[in-house]
Amino acid sequence: MNPTLNERLIDFIHLLRGAGIKISAHRALPIAQTLPLISITQREDFYWMLHSLLVSNPNDHLLFDEAFHLFWQKRNSFDQILSLLLPTAQIPQAARPISPRLLPAFSEEDTVKKEMEREIEIDLALAPSAEEILHHTDFEKMSPQEVEEAKRAMALLPYAFDPLLHRRWESSVRRAAIDPRASFRKAMREAHGLPLCFRKRSLKHPPLVVLCDISGSMSRYSRLALHFLYFLSRHRRNVHTFLFGTKLSNVTRWLRDRDGDIAIDTIATKVQDWSGGTRIGANIQEFNRLWARRVLSQKATLLILTDGLERGDPNELKRELQRLKRSCHHLIWLNPLLRYGGYEAKAQGAAILSHYADEIRPVHNLQSLEQLLLALRKEASHDRRYSFLSSNLAA
Amino acid sequence: MEIPHSIDAVIDLMQEGGYIAPRPLATSLLLAMRLKRPLFLEGEPGVGKTEIAKVLARMLNRPLIRLQCYEGLDQASALYEWNYPRQMLEIRLAEAAGKTDKAQLASDIFTERFLIKRPLLQALQSNSEQPPILLIDELDRADEPFEAFLLELLEEYQVSIPEFGTIKATRPPIVILTSNRTREVHDALKRRCFYHWVDFPDRVQELAILRMKFPDMENALLADVIAFVQHLRGQDLFKSPGIAETLDWANALLAMGCPDLAPSIIEDTLGILLKYRDDLARFRHQEIQTLLAEAKAGKIRA
């Protein structure tokens, strides 16, 4: 393969990586073999050849498109290639403005990673009564020091979740259903008799989806709520987290970072609409349209964390909640305003939410979070009892 | 039949089989076939992903082996299973006949006679003249352990059966995977494949497809049908109608003998295009009339 073309292709792949498209080294290997199959003078064929190799997610398509048109025109590299291969060169396309996501990838200097400095205060004399007080303190009323302590206490909440029975089989020690294949294979190894091996249905965590409101009215809770969601994601598989204010963002992947603070800081920079206005209905509509069918598979529990103060159209909210309710198994509304003893859902958005939610729970202090976790666990084990019965009949 | 050598040849081949393949799709198909790598097709339900594999198999004159994925699909249902009842019978018969050579019996039991070959193994061990086309349909319905198992298969085209040994495909099949994107398939699997997103057809394509399938349809009706469906897709629907739905609808209209498209006919047959109650509820008589008028205003010439 032409060495100049080789270098150009490698540069192009680096550009795409810099812009955020994940391309492993393995991916790009067949390029050399693909070039003889297509006619390189056909720009479209070259484009689609690279596309089918390097792009594996429809979300990356637009970025690839822009990168391709800029790269193979910016340094006139495509024309250089053509001039090497053919006597006449093609006319390059008109310049387009560069999207901001590609700009850092074009720049020469590397981005420097931020270093985190944290102060760790160790208070050895934490008396039991002080802990109890912390558990009951409202998040809104906490001092910065108490906030840090609350984050540490959150790590110690009871996160154990019971999984549900699943269709797959896995080997089991206790006497459940007989596994014919394993029994035969064991018999081959042993001299006498037919030893029995057993199998049982495997267990899986059903999906838990969290829609968290990060608009202005919820801003005091948002940071701590994110910490809670971070711990939840660490302790349980199949948790999907979405933040919404003026628009909906999927932050599941960022919450899977090892370090909680790095995860939250990444989210703080990437999600742009903190403390904006709330349009609950519009965001739920987007969730229904784009994400509901993908993340709300069997027996999903949906937590929606919002105060119910809706700025948009209440009819839209009603419609979208109806659809949402039908897509998920259990809908829980986590309302921080429940900290007021005499709270009644009078605002339109709140009234609609309270009508459609299966459960309404407070979420203003550590104790309420603990109770939420216990409730989630109990609900899961309740289902397990029934699904065990039905699988017993079927097996 | 031999694998085509150029993109144009692929387009012509698919067209002969009754499938209008746009150039990007034909590029991916050619690369996948020539470089013997799997092709991963993703797209909304009803855009014709499965049809690609079927047409390809028919036109290249190769057997099509289809594995339909579902949640809980495991090795036993996808790759192979031993015929336990038959093996037990064999043991009982041997006992009854008085044969006591256990080692001989053990080696007899685990032979090909007692092996039930499921689609993946059939694809690897195909006896046909040409390597078959393996269609793994709706991979997103299967779970992650199954994907992990597929990884090795797609990389090496070999499987190991403990009682048997390793079975390697002498001629690797052409593998096409499809997904409706109800969940994200793992990157590790995607990176072994060529990827193509199959989108809804545009006006020109859809017109060509309908013309090919329904040569007897009148031009005016054809133009109206295409315009309406294309306009409908632009509405914010829960599930947009795919090309399969358009074909069903055109078929229904022909069967009903409609001379042209009137709002009342659309109202009666809208259930063929839209499959969700929310979407259907949005389009009552008035909306349908408006939609049809808008569609006709912007239609292309048939």
Write the DSSP assignment of A128-163 as a string of letters: HHHHHHHHHS-GGG--HHHHHHHHHHHHTS----PP
> Of the candidates A391, A338, A119, which has an alpha carbon nearest to the alpha carbon of residue A221?
A338
Query: Distance between CA B128 and CA B65 in Å, rounded?
Result: 12
Among B27, B82, B193, select the one facing A49 at the smallest CB separation: B27
The predicted structure's pLDDT at residue A322? 87
CB contact at 8 A, A277 and A184 = no
Residue A253, chain B, CB below 8 Å: the answer is: no
Residue A337's contacts (CB-CB under 8 Å, 6 or more residues apart) are A307, A308, A343, A350
Size of interface A-B (CB pairs under 8 A): 91
Among A30, A51, A181, select the one facing B37 at the smallest CB separation: A30
Among B74, B81, B106, select the one facing A168 at the smallest CB separation: B74
Query: Distance between CA B229 and CA B287 in Å, rounded?
Result: 14
- B238·A288 Cβ contact <8 A: yes
ipTM of this complex prediction, to 2 decimal places = 0.75
Residue A50's contacts (CB-CB under 8 Å, 6 or more residues apart) are A12, A31, A64, A68
- B163·A185 Cβ contact <8 A: yes
Query: Distance between CA A146 and CA A26 in Å, rounded?
Result: 49
- A30·B35 Cβ contact <8 A: yes
Q: Which residues pair with A303 in a beta bridge?
A: A210, A332
Residue B27, chain A, CB below 8 Å: the answer is: yes
At B133, is the secondary structure helix, strand, or coil? strand
Query: Distance between CA B50 and CA B295 in Å, rounded?
Result: 29
Residue A141, chain B, CB below 8 Å: the answer is: no
How far CA B242 is from CA of A82, A282, B232, B266, in Å, comes to 40, 26, 11, 17
Average pLDDT, chain B: 88
Among A24, A38, A185, select the one facing B191 at the smallest CB separation: A24
The predicted structure's pLDDT at residue A112? 35
The single residue listed with the structure tokens 């040849």 is B9
DSSP string across A217-238: GGHHHHHHHHHHHHHHHHHSSS
Query: Distance between CA A36 and CA B106 in Å, rounded?
Result: 52
Q: For chain B, how big is the Rg over CA atoms in Å? A: 24
Query: Distance between CA B297 and CA B280 in Å, rounded?
Result: 23
> Of the candidates A312, A130, A337, which has an alpha carbon nearest to the alpha carbon of residue A220?
A337
Query: B233-237 long-range CB contacts below 8 Å, 24 or more apart?
Result: B233/B200, B235/B282, B235/B291, B236/A289, B237/B274, B237/B276, B237/B279
Give chain B positions within 8 Å (CB) of A27.
Answer: 191
For chain B, strand residue ranges (E) read 39-42, 64-68, 80-82, 115-117, 133-137, 158-161, 165-168, 174-179, 194-197
The predicted structure's pLDDT at residue A105? 58
Query: Distance between CA B114 and CA B162 in Å, rounded?
Result: 14
The predicted structure's pLDDT at residue A381? 60
How far CA A33 is from CA of A38, A56, A349, A355, B35, in Å, comes to 10, 19, 59, 61, 7
- B31·A37 Cβ contact <8 A: yes
Query: Distance between CA A291 and CA B241 in Å, rounded?
Result: 19
Give chain B positions within 8 Å (CB) of A33.
Answer: 35
Residue A339's contacts (CB-CB under 8 Å, 6 or more residues apart) are A138, A140, A362, A364, A365
Print pLDDT tens along chain A (395 aa): 567 788 888 888 888 887 778 788 777 778 878 888 887 777 888 889 999 889 888 888 888 888 888 887 755 554 454 444 443 333 344 444 555 556 555 553 333 333 333 333 344 444 457 778 888 888 877 788 888 888 888 888 888 777 777 778 888 888 888 888 888 888 777 767 778 888 888 877 888 999 998 887 777 777 788 888 888 888 888 889 999 888 888 988 888 877 878 888 888 888 877 766 778 888 999 999 888 888 887 778 999 998 888 777 888 888 899 888 888 888 999 988 888 877 787 788 888 888 888 889 988 888 888 888 888 887 666 654 444 444 444 43
- A216 is written with which tokens? 């202005």
Give chain B positions within 8 Å (CB) of A52.
Answer: 24, 27-28, 31, 194-196
Q: For the whole model, what pTM was predicted?
A: 0.70
Low-confidence ranges of chain B (pLDDT < 70): 299-302
Element (H, E) at A380: helix A366-394
Give chain B positions within 8 Å (CB) of A26.
Answer: 191-192
User: Which amino acid is present at B237?
Assistant: L
At A107, is the secondary structure helix, strand, or coil? coil
Residue B183, chain A, CB below 8 Å: the answer is: yes
- B82·A184 Cβ contact <8 A: yes
- B31·A34 Cβ contact <8 A: yes
Helices (H) and strands (E) in chain B, counts: 15, 9
Residue B149, chain A, CB below 8 Å: the answer is: no
